[in-house]
Amino acid sequence: MKIMRLKLREISAPILFTFTSLAIAACDDRSRQTAPIPRDPLEQDSTKLPEPPATQPGQDTVTLPNMPVELYGRFRMQWAPTDYREVFYEAKGLPVRIIQENQYVQGSDITRKTTYDFVYDAQARLIQLKLDNGAYVKYYYEGSKLIETREHAKDNLLLITSTYAYAGDKITQIYRVNSFKKVETQFRLLYDQRGNLIEYREYAKNKNNGLFDTYSSTKYSGYDNKRNVENLWMVYPFLPGYSFASNNAGVIRFYFFDGNVEKEVRGRKTITYEYLENGYPSRKAERGSSGSLETTYSYKGL
């Protein structure tokens, strides 16, 4: 098959990915931020954005099983030169590859880079996510609605099964079974009238009574009216095309419920943004008891 290799070029229309495992905040605070990718024209304002690295040989085409894919665009979130997430898109705006790099050993120059490749069926439904270490995730549907994901190790061992329940088009519950650790977890999601996620509860199963009666909770408030570009990172396995929030939260708080009382725990964060003229974020500043974090956003392609 002859493949035309198209060069990435500046976005005139950013790609919106309404998407992303909510990792526990102590492990990776960035996992629970909402984020989108643009489809409207990207009119860059006077804010100077860091340029994504130049396309390297071989990066303008992604080879997936039986399907070489030409890259048309990309979206990048960056905290440092070796601490970033970058998403690559094909011509229709579907994410086909994520490259993620972060510090592996704290206080050192040792980093870990992970690559995820997305495989779609003829209906443009994501059917498999392939990791560069050989692990993979399979996706199962009823019609166009995702109902289950199964995470496998590279030796095909089933590790985690997640099932999804909806109210209308919104995911309201995720039930997860970790076959390896023999742990069951339930997640419940609450939204405001604009469709923005306002609470994400993680319930642990009580071994004494078999009930999901205690939880930790992340609450989102202070939403702006700008476009969110971080939906892909809200949960794992990734759910491209799903919107957990259309806008950006200004405050994130963390709670724990012991079966009797819900109490706020340490970690509250306030968030401010700078935006491009079209409403997409160019920078984010997070402030909290554990310190501060600056994020820059850049968009190329299409």
Please write the tens of the pLDDT for every residue from 57-86: 334 445 554 455 667 789 999 999 999 999
pLDDT tier at 301 (50, 70, 90 boundaries)?
A: low
| pLDDT tens profile 140-164 | 999 999 999 999 999 999 999 999 9
Band of pLDDT at residue 6, cut at 50, 70 and 90: very low
CB atoms within 10 A of CB 264: 12
Q: What are the φ/ψ torsions at residue 51 (nearest 5 degrees)?
A: -75, 135
pLDDT score recorded for residue 68? 59
pLDDT at 302: 38
Q: What predicted TM-score, i.e. pTM, was given to this entire model? A: 0.76
- Report the pLDDT value the prediction gives residue 132, as an integer from 0 to 100: 96
Section 10-30 average pLDDT:
35
Going from the C-alpha of 276 to that of each of 9, 134, 250, 263, the distances in angstroms are 18, 38, 17, 37
Percent of the chain with pLDDT over 90: 62
Is the predicted pLDDT of residue 256 greater than 70, yes or no? yes
**Mean pLDDT value across the chain:** 80
Choice between 12 and 85, residue whose per-residue pLDDT is larger: 85
Residue pair 37/238 in contact by the 8 Å Cβ criterion: no
Is pLDDT above 70 for 203? Answer: yes
29-301 classified as CATH 3.30.230.70 = no
Mean pLDDT of 122-145: 95
Whether the pLDDT of residue 255 is over 90: the answer is yes
pLDDT above 70 covers a percentage of the chain that reads: 75
pLDDT of residue 8: 35
Q: Within 13 Å and on the Cβ side, how many CA atoms surround 193?
A: 0
Q: Cα–Cα distance between 219 and 25 in angstroms, integer?
A: 12
- Whether cis (ω within 30° of 0) applies to the bond prior to 36 is no
The position carrying tokens 């392939």 is 130
Q: Residue 105: is its pLDDT beyond 90?
A: no
Compute and round to an integer the Cα radius of gyration of the chain: 19
Q: How far apart (Å, rounded) are the C-alpha atoms in residues 199 and 254?
A: 10
